[in-house]
Structure 1
Amino acid sequence: MSTQESSSIINPSVYLNYLSTEEATIYEVGRNINLATLGALIWDILSSLPDERKLIQGGRGSTVLIAYFLARPSALAMVILSVLEQTGPVSNCKLIAVISAAFQGISTATASYLFLRRVHAVYFGSKGVQYVFNFMWFVVVCASCSLFYDAIHGYQEIADTKHCIRQQDSVALPIAFGVPLWFDAFVYYAILHKILSVHKQGQKKGWRSFFCAPKGLPHFSRAVFEGGQQYYL
């Protein structure tokens, strides 16, 4: 924004003075959502520390374990940077946005990989299904990389207030977040379909069956069913 416009504003240090009423409302709502997400994520991570300590002590090194311990810190870093963009001070908005996009890509790739491994476990004898979901996971990773385009071309500083705003609308953002959502939905459906097909053969399956674990499921199948629900939600 120009220097002349800045000088005409009574309090140029307040970033909301440079935004329209609609833009300011969207900006403030987005900031509050990010702050709430940050608080919930920190609480979730702290509450899981005892279980994660047991995983480190008793678990062997594996790609699943590595993915698990990369997903959560990278998601936390991404949310922190998103909050910083809207609360300031930020000296380089594009740089922060690019770093945030990198953490978002790592978080999405690793979290989706954990869900992918569930498909491999449930469809352990169906190589064709595994290959299909492997390809879908690769598409998820590529879609997440589209955030870099949005980070480079879509963010700028609000005048000289050290606050960042996303100005340019593009298809990068819905692709980066929409494709992983569809992937998780397909994985969730595939896992539940397999469990219900094995344990409820010959019985009619309605929509309720995909949200409520049927009675009579073995303990392991019920754990996979409920664990998939928790992850997807």
Structure 2
Amino acid sequence: MPGFENIHIELDVLNPDVYLNHIPQLEAQQIEIGRNIVVAVLGATIWDILVYIPDDIRIVKRSSRFSFVTFCYFFSRISAVVHALLGSMERAIPIYHLYPYVIFSSCLLSLSAISSSYIFLQRAQAIYAERKSPQKFFFISWLFVFGAGCLIPLGVHPSYIPGTYYYRYPGLATYVIAAPLVLLLFDTLVFIAISYKIYKEHSMDVDSMEVQRTSWIRLLSGRKLPLISKAVLRGGQQYYSATVGITVFAVIGLCLPKNFRLVGVAFSLVVIPLSASMAGRVFRNLKLLEADSSTLNIV
């Protein structure tokens, strides 16, 4: 029409060709939710490492030797933060060598969990230092944790989102669920064993059931315990209560239907950094208490 020759209409592209457009909408939404969870975990894990640098320096300076459990203390947290970093990157940028990238990330996840559980193992062996049979039993139990952790890299089969170089979660092998289950059983076993040992050593022989029940409750709360025993008991309670809940949710997440499993898997990634943080916290508190009091030799 006359007068409209110089009018140009520019249409905004409402649906650009981004990688999430190559998959169903529900899966794309779950990928975005999972990415947000992983980024939040990464920030919290970095903060946990930075805020305790002064205490870590004190531990290194006051340690007469750099033992393997001290190595696990540092390695579990560092591998957890590197795994969270890689997990954030694989959900945000193209990965051109996907298989070695994801396998390396999965190995860090497994090694962090194994290192954290080894710290818990050493606490149990220190409590039962005078008895060889429980020590062997705890070590054999930890070997099951080690073996179950090795299943994670074997059960990961990564793939790309069609037409892109972005990572797409294809699902895990069924046997991978054994890793968090075995870890949960091991933590429960060690926690009960440590609590029972402390209770037996500090309980009193009384005839009244009511007095015995009251004494048992006060012991579990730590109010009647010496300083070192209180630190060991409460440290175990904090570690177990923080990790057992999130581990149960992780197992549930891995068992969700395929349409909702992406969020469950992302949520399960919280388990390892939290476990490493809590195991490190318990170890750090005991080491600093040991250095201050010179009465406990955990490592």
Q: Normalized against structure 2, the TM-score is what?
A: 0.67
Structure 1 residue 50: Cα displacement: 0.3
CA distance in 1, matches of 2:32, 2:192: 36
Contact 1:149 1:172 in 2 (8 A): no
Q: Please point out which of 31, 46, 69 is paired with 1:64.
A: 69
Contact 2:121 2:190 in 1 (8 A): yes
Shift of the 206–42 alpha-carbon distance from structure 1 to 2, 3 Å rule, reads farther
- For residues 56-86 of structure 1, give each alpha carbon's deviation from its aligned partner in whole angstroms, at most 9, with x where no partner exists: 1221221111111211111111111111111
Partner SS state of residue 87, structure 1: coil
Q: Please point out which of 29, 50, 55 is paired with 1:46.
A: 50
Aligned residue number for residue 55 of structure 1: 59
Q: Please point out which of 184, 188, 191 is paired with 2:194.
A: 191
CA distance in 1, matches of 2:236, 2:171: 36
CA distance in 2, matches of 1:138, 1:38: 29
Unaligned runs of 5+ in 2: 1-14, 206-211, 243-299
Shift of the 86–200 alpha-carbon distance from structure 1 to 2, 3 Å rule, reads same
Amino acid at match of 2:59: L
Aligned residue number for residue 110 of structure 1: 115
Larger radius of gyration: 2
2:101 is equivalent to residue 92 of structure 1? no
CA distance in 1, matches of 2:218, 2:114: 29
CA distance in 2, matches of 1:198, 1:130: 18
Q: Normalized against structure 1, the TM-score is what?
A: 0.85
2:230 is equivalent to residue 204 of structure 1? no
CA distance in 2, matches of 1:102, 1:88: 21
CA distance in 1, matches of 2:112, 2:104: 12
Equivalences for residues 1-233 of structure 1 within 5 A: 11-12=16-17, 14-59=18-63, 60-151=65-156, 153=157, 155-201=158-204, 203-204=212-213, 213-232=221-240, 233=242
Shift of the 82–208 alpha-carbon distance from structure 1 to 2, 3 Å rule, reads farther
Amino acid at match of 1:215: R
Unaligned runs of 5+ in 1: 1-9
Amino acid at match of 2:234: E
Amino acid at match of 1:137: W
Contact 1:85 1:165 in 2 (8 A): no
Shift of the 165–177 alpha-carbon distance from structure 1 to 2, 3 Å rule, reads farther
Aligned residue number for residue 7 of structure 1: none
CA distance in 2, matches of 1:46, 1:132: 36
Amino acid at match of 2:186: F
Aligned residue number for residue 6 of structure 1: none
Shift of the 132–96 alpha-carbon distance from structure 1 to 2, 3 Å rule, reads same
Structure 1 residue 29: Cα displacement: 2.1
Shift of the 111–169 alpha-carbon distance from structure 1 to 2, 3 Å rule, reads closer
Contact 2:142 2:186 in 1 (8 A): yes
Structure 1 residue 117: Cα displacement: 0.3
Amino acid at match of 1:16: L
RMSD: 2.3
CA distance in 2, matches of 1:172, 1:94: 20
